[in-house]
Amino acid sequence: MNRARHRRARAAWWPTLIPIGLILASEYKFRSRGIGEAIGGGIDATIAIEIGSYGLAVLYLYRRFGIRPPRRVPSPVLLLAWLFVFYMAMSVLWTPFPQFAAVRAAQLLVTAAVCQVLATRAEREDLYRMAHVFIGVVVVSVGIGVALPLPRTPNTQDRFNWLYVHPVTAGIFLGIALLLALSFVLPGGLPRRWRLPVYLVVIVVLGTALVATGTRGAAAGCLAGVAMFLLTARGARGRAEFLLMAIPGAVVAVLAFGDWLIDFATRGESVQRLETLNSRTDLWSFAFDAVSEKPIFGNGMSAARGLFLESIGLGGGHNVFVNILVEGGIVGTALFCLLCFVTMTIQLALTRVRAIRTDAALLLGLMTFLLVDGLTADMMAGAANVASIWLFLIVAWTSVIFRKPVGPEVRHGDDRTPVATVSEIS
């Protein structure tokens, strides 16, 4: 009996270990490579571990669940996610960098498969556990960055990071973790696993580290995500309370920290660099030239990084919409935008269901964060990175709360035990 219980306990950890494992394998590097080596470089031990991790994930899912039709009708967001993934994988056929793109396409398909299994087999408790582990990983990473600072590039000397994770990527980690932690702090929020002071300390640590990265896109995205979460997490009364506190608080913050906010926004850069958004406008001008050559189906997966490297020495479009337009064309961009729009529409509708309101509000905040951050970063519509994997985790989480009625649940500071169903949306 005890042995069977232990087996069940170990099996319950797969919704946590697989996504976190893929994120760590994709982003945590113990060496630095030049930008050009990402396209034409050989396979070293780090790359082999990354690819092997995705292979192990597929092997585990096959051994545990096999290949069979889904037990439940897929949610609309899950269907759209698969349409987007299949289209981008198919674009390998016409990309100018087929070898690199084929690896990325395989990783994207694995990520979508993990999303499918999570969406149809995981429970909300599994996702709460995964969120706590992710928060813990990011907090430990901040500690590593403080204790063991590694050599940085000339452009990131004054910006915080850990290992060889770029400050932009670190900002995405920190923003997501901060939003997750906030959802467990809110009165009547998600079920806590730690004491309240622990969450508060975690939020302070994550917020401080986010500012230290100097990543303006992630900081703006985090503010937008937090605002969206707080506006939708507690219903109409919560929105009124938030606005009553947020508006005066914003005025006080601007008056008290105006100079510091300007310094953070400018990072001491010249007027010319600020006018071109750190050369992003030049990059985007070239991107639209590339789009004009293949406007419908795009240049194929991973083409943006290679094309920009060959032409102007920068990797990627530094904007999620520019990147997907270059690689997927009008068709790929339409699928991606439709996926985001439908996902956020369903999440907004689910905030009207009282028992899952905090889940839906959190997911809406995370989507807002990724999209705002995506205005200056291009990873969300890519493959094998923290933003892309979290997009699919959001899709899976949305499918979990959408797929069936929500039973009684007692949350901290909340004695409500209603039974709500998705049909209550209407």
Domain boundaries, given as residue ranges, for the chain: 2-425
**Burial of residue 412 (number of CB atoms within 10 Å: 0-12, 13-18, 19+):** middle
- Structure-block tokens of residue 109: 């398909």
Residue 41 has what pLDDT?
54
- Structure-block tokens of residue 61: 């899912």
Total residue length of the chain: 426
Q: Which residues of the chain have pLDDT under 70?
A: 1-11, 33-42, 68-73, 153-155, 236-284, 309-317, 404-426
Q: What is the pTM of this model?
A: 0.86
Question: Left (φ > 0), alpha (ψ -120 to 50) or beta: where does 188 sit?
Answer: left
Listed in sequence order, the DSSP H helices in 66-122 are: 76-90, 98-121
**What stretch of H or E contains 91?**
none
Determine phi and psi for 195, rounding to 5 degrees.
-75, 155
- Cβ-based neighbour number of residue 68 at 10 Å: 6
Q: Which amino acid is at 419?
A: V
User: Cβ distance 363 to 347 under 8 Å?
Assistant: yes
CA distance 43 to 96: 19
Torsion 161-167-171-177 (CA) sign: negative
Residue 136 has what pLDDT?
97
CA distance 26 to 108: 12
Question: Of the candidates 121, 137, 235, which has an alpha carbon nearest to the alpha carbon of residue 181?
Answer: 137
CA distance 424 to 418: 12
**What stretch of H or E contains 63?**
helix 45-65
User: Cβ distance 324 to 334 under 8 Å?
Assistant: no
Tell me the Cα Rg of the chain: 21
What is each CA distance from 316 to 152, 313, 319, 320, 325, in whole angstroms? Answer: 20, 10, 8, 9, 12
CA distance 34 to 349: 45
CA distance 210 to 288: 32
Report the SS3 class of residue 412: coil
CA distance 63 to 366: 32
Q: Which residues pair with 414 in a beta bridge?
A: 411
Q: Which residues pair with 420 in a beta bridge?
A: 406
Using the structure block, give the residue that is written with the tokens 């904007």. 319
Residue 113 has what pLDDT?
94
